[in-house]
Amino acid sequence: MKRHSENETHITNLRYHTRGLDDLYIPIPFLFVTSRMRDEIAAERQLIIDLAQSATKVRQLELLSRYDPCVSADAFNSVLHLFEVDRQD
C-alpha cells in the first residue's frame, strides 16, 4: 500500500466544503440548514480540522468560523415556526 505524505493528504467526497486554491477548505454557505445538515457540517468540519497540518490549522479554523451553520439552522427553524410547520427530525 502506498503511503501518502502529510502534504498529499486531501479529503475527498465533501458535501459542504470545497477546496480552495490555497489548499484550505471553504465552507459552502446555505441560507437554510436543517438540523441534520448542521450535524453533518459539524462532522465534516471536525474531519477537516483533524486532518489539517499544524501550519495551516489556525488559518483553516479562521476560515471556517466565518460561516456558522447553527445560525442558518436557527433561521430555518424560525421560518418553519413562523408558518406553523410542525417539523420532526
Which H or E run contains 25? strand 25-27
For residue 21, the 8-state DSSP code is: T
Helix ranges (H only) for 16-86 are 35-51, 54-64, 69-82
Read off the pTM: 0.80
Sign of CA dihedral 30, 57, 14, 34: negative
Query: pLDDT tens per residue, the chain (89 residues)?
Result: 544 444 445 788 999 999 999 989 999 988 889 999 999 999 999 999 999 999 999 999 999 999 999 999 999 999 999 998 876 65
